[in-house]
Amino acid sequence: MDYYCDSAIVVDMKIDFRNNKWGFLRETKVDAEKAANTAAKKKHDSTKLLYTGLEEYLAVIFPEINEEEWIHNKSVPGTKRPTKPDYRCDKLKLIIEFDGLHHYTNPYNVMDDSIKDKAYTDAGYKVVRIPYFIQLTNEVIEQLFERKVSQPMFNPSIPSMSIEWKNTPAYCCHVGVVRMGKDFMRFPQQYEVNMKSLREENDEFFSGVSLLEAEYRKLRR
C-alpha cells in the first residue's frame, strides 16, 4: 500500500487529457479518485489530469480474469511471514505490487521488498513490481506481463516525476536511487522522458537529476 503527494505534476500543456482514458497509476480506484479530487483543488482545470486504479488496468490486461479473482491486500497462504501484496491472482499464480515513493526513501523498505519477493516466489508466485515512476504504456504492459493490448494505454510521452510532486530522486535514499536506476534500465524510454522533464525544471537540489544519471551510467557500463 502506497502513499503519494497528490499535487498535480507539471506536464506539457499541449496534451489533451480529456481524450485520454488512462491516467497516472494508483493502487485502487478509490485512491485514484482521491488523487483526482486533490489535484482538482490544487490546479486550474487546464490539464485535465487523470488517475486510474490498478484494477482498471488489470481488467484490460487480463480480460479472462474476473474482478473477484484479484485478491487485494490479503495474506498469501504458504508464506512464512505475514505479507499482504497489493494484488494476487491464484489462477495466474501472479502477485503485483505497486511501489510508491516510500519504497525508495528508506533502506529498510528496499531490503524488505526483496525479502517479500523471495517469500512470494518460494510460495510459487511470479512477482511483478510497478514503480511509481513507470506508467502502464502499451510497451510497459507487454514487457511486464507478456500481454499485448490493442487499445492505446497510458501516453508514453508524459513524465511521472516532478519537483512539484515531490517524488524525484532527490527525495530518495542512496539505495533507493540505485534501485530506481535498475528499474529504469528496464524501461529506457520512460527514463528519457522523465529525465528530460526534470532537466527542464532546472533545479538540481530538488530534482536530484545528477544522482540518477550517475547511477544509470554505472549500470550501462
- Tell me what pLDDT residue 141 has: 98
Residue 59: pLDDT band (50, 70, 90) is very high
Residue 183 inside a domain? The answer is yes
Pairing of strands 87-89, 94-99: antiparallel
Range of the domain at 210: 17-220
Cα separation, 98 vs 172, whole angstroms: 17
| Alpha carbons within 13 A on the beta-carbon side of 190 | 27
Residue 10 inside a domain? The answer is no
The continuous run of DSSP H or E covering 34 comes out as: helix 29-42
pLDDT of 2 above 80: no
Helix axes of 209-220 and 174-185: crossing angle, nearest 10 degrees? 60
Q: How many domains does the chain have?
A: 1
- Tell me what pLDDT residue 42 has: 73
- Tell me what pLDDT residue 48 has: 58
Terminal CA-CA length for the chain: 34
Structure confidence by residue, pLDDT tens digits, 88-141: 999 999 999 999 999 999 999 999 999 999 999 999 999 999 999 999 999 999
Cα separation, 129 vs 94, whole angstroms: 11
Q: Is 112:122 a contact under the CB 8 Å cutoff? A: no
Structure confidence by residue, pLDDT tens digits, 151-174: 999 999 999 999 999 999 999 999
- Tell me what pLDDT residue 78 has: 85
- Tell me what pLDDT residue 204 has: 97
Cα separation, 25 vs 10, whole angstroms: 16
- Tell me what pLDDT residue 81 has: 81
DSSP code of residue 69: G
Residue 2 inside a domain? The answer is no
Q: How much is the average pLDDT of 194-210?
A: 97
Q: In 13-22, which positions are buried (b, 16+ CB within 10 angstroms) versus exposed (e)?
A: eeeeeeebeb
Q: Which of 13-17, 28-32, 166-170, 176-180 has the lowest mean pLDDT?
A: 13-17
Q: How much is the average pLDDT of 58-82?
A: 94
Characterise 202 by phi-psi region: left (phi > 0), alpha (psi -120 to 50), beta (else).
left
Q: Which of 17-21, 27-31, 157-161 has the lowest mean pLDDT?
A: 17-21
Cα separation, 206 vs 210, whole angstroms: 11
Residue 6 inside a domain? The answer is no
Residue 8 inside a domain? The answer is no
Cα separation, 106 vs 77, whole angstroms: 27
Cell of 66: 474476473
- Tell me what pLDDT residue 38 has: 84
- Tell me what pLDDT residue 80 has: 81
